[in-house]
Amino acid sequence: MRFGLSFLPDCTPETKSPQTYFSDALELSVRAELGGLETIKMTEHYLHHYGGYCPSPLGFLSAVAARTASVRLMTGCVLPVFHHPIQLAAEAAQVDAISGGRLDVGFARAYLPDEFDALGLPMEESTERFRETVRAVLRLWTEEEVSEDTPFFSYRDVTGLPRPTQRPHPPAWGAAVRTPESFTWLGTEGLGLLITPLISPHEFRDHLTLYRDAFHAAHGGTGLRPRVAASLPLVVADTDARAERIAETHLRRYLDVWALAVNAWDRRESTAYRGYSGFGWMLRGLKPTELFTRGGAIVGSPATVVDRIRAFNDHIGGVDQILWQIDFGAMPLAEAGQTLELFCSEVLPEVKSL
């Protein structure tokens, strides 16, 4: 199993300024590479304190590339529904070149109503727009004189530049959360799967089976294999009690900021997002202790964390990579750095053979 860091800004100006947030994130990225972690991931969002500091994961990853030598750089995720495929394919290929071929590109459909409303896009067409844009990006990376004619964009005889450094293109991933059809589609398309198990790994086990079955049905015998990466909050401290105190404070902030971003779902329904109505109520009702007692976060002393990682991997049915959120809830650099140091020195040697 491989490990890395997953960033999603959840700061307010009172808890961390944008300058401090990115200074901390870049410092943690450098330390992660030195400690033996393999991936740095960043997510795109707008308008809200949940993610809104980072409208451009590719911009952040370009800065990480300049400070590191070998760590993989992953968008987790860019939101294709808000971008033209020519622009997205070109900007990603540029970062692939800057980094010497270290980029992985994760795509997500987007799900925050305020983002769609402000950018003037209907949520009901998000699935088709997402899929058409992802397919178009992959064509622009691998083909020349590409033509497209969709309800969302059209062009003729386009050859994208720069060409990707990695061939045939950077590894591509897609995020799925609730909709079974999303897991099936990602498997059929041959993309890696990105998940964030919010409460319990058990809730994702059947969905991972859907993904893997669809992948094998479409790509069996080709040499391609399904890939699953999970993002989880992590706190490691010298004792379980200390880790849990840190986690409770910052998980509460993390959940509160997230709940504010999804408030619109308390009064909204969409046929494209079945099961999302009331999302804010659900987040506000969650207790931080529920996350780390049921497996939605990993918290404890090094020995406890080793046991909980093994239990998580068993309960979910196995993942290829875990990307840790170690700075959630606007956590200070000192505490996030402690988690990273203890994980790399005392936990990683015990779990990397999973």
pLDDT at residue 293 in the model? 87
Q: CA-to-CA distance for 324 and 229, rounded, in angstroms?
A: 10
Quote the tokens at residue 37. Answer: 């972690």
**Which ranges constitute the DSSP H helices of the chain?**
18-34, 57-67, 85-98, 113-119, 126-142, 180-189, 202-219, 240-261, 279-285, 288-294, 302-316, 333-342, 348-351
- The distance from CA 346 to its chain's CA centroid, rounded to whole angstroms, is 25
Q: Which residues are paired to 230 by β-bridges?
A: 195, 322
Q: CA-to-CA distance for 312 and 186, rounded, in angstroms?
A: 23
Has residue 159 been placed in a domain?
yes
Has residue 144 been placed in a domain?
yes
Q: How confident is the model at residue 244 (pLDDT cuts 50, 70, 90)?
A: very high
What sign does the CA torsion over 294, 296, 300, 302 have?
Answer: positive
Closest CA relative to residue 137, chosen from 98, 172, 96 = 172
257: left (phi over 0), alpha (psi -120 to 50) or beta: alpha
Instruction: Count CB atoms within 10 A of the CB of residue 122.
Output: 11
Question: What mean pLDDT, rounded, does the chain reach?
Answer: 96
Has residue 206 been placed in a domain?
yes
Residue that has been written with the tokens 């727009």 in this structure: 129
In this structure, of 185-189, 279-283, 346-350, the range with the lowest mean pLDDT score is: 279-283
Q: How many domains does the chain have?
A: 1
The per-residue pLDDT for range 297-340, each reduced to its tens digit, is 999 999 999 999 999 999 999 999 999 999 999 999 999 999 99
Has residue 79 been placed in a domain?
yes
pLDDT at 282 over 80: yes
Q: CA-to-CA distance for 185 and 217, rounded, in angstroms?
A: 12
Q: CA-to-CA distance for 64 and 23, rounded, in angstroms?
A: 11
pTM of the predicted protein model: 0.96
CB 13 within 8 A of CB 332: no
Q: CA distances (Å), 220 to each of 29, 168, 217, in order?
A: 36, 19, 6
Has residue 294 been placed in a domain?
no
- As a dihedral over the C-alpha atoms of residue 11, residue 16, residue 22, residue 27, rounded to 10 degrees, the angle is -110
Phi, then psi, of 27 in degrees rounded to 5: -65, -45
- The residue segments making up the domain with residue 186 are 2-234+317-332
The per-residue pLDDT for range 120-164, each reduced to its tens digit, is 999 999 999 999 999 999 999 999 999 999 999 999 999 999 999
The per-residue pLDDT for range 155-191, each reduced to its tens digit, is 999 999 999 999 999 999 999 987 889 999 999 999 9
Has residue 297 been placed in a domain?
no
Phi, then psi, of 136 in degrees rounded to 5: -65, -40
Domain CATH code at residue 94 = 3.20.20.30
Closest CA relative to residue 331, chosen from 255, 247, 262, 259 = 247
Write the CB contacts of 44 (distance below 8 Å, at least 6 apart in sequence): 51, 54, 55, 56, 57, 75, 77, 78, 79, 82, 108
In this structure, of 67-81, 193-207, 334-348, the range with the lowest mean pLDDT score is: 193-207
Q: CA-to-CA distance for 80 and 152, rounded, in angstroms?
A: 11
CB 330 within 8 A of CB 10: yes
Give Rg (Cα) of the chain: 19
Write the CB contacts of 145 (distance below 8 Å, at least 6 apart in sequence): 157, 158, 159
pLDDT at residue 14 in the model? 94
pLDDT at 237 over 90: yes
Quote the tokens at residue 131. Answer: 């899929």
What sign does the CA torsion over 330, 27, 58, 321 have?
Answer: negative
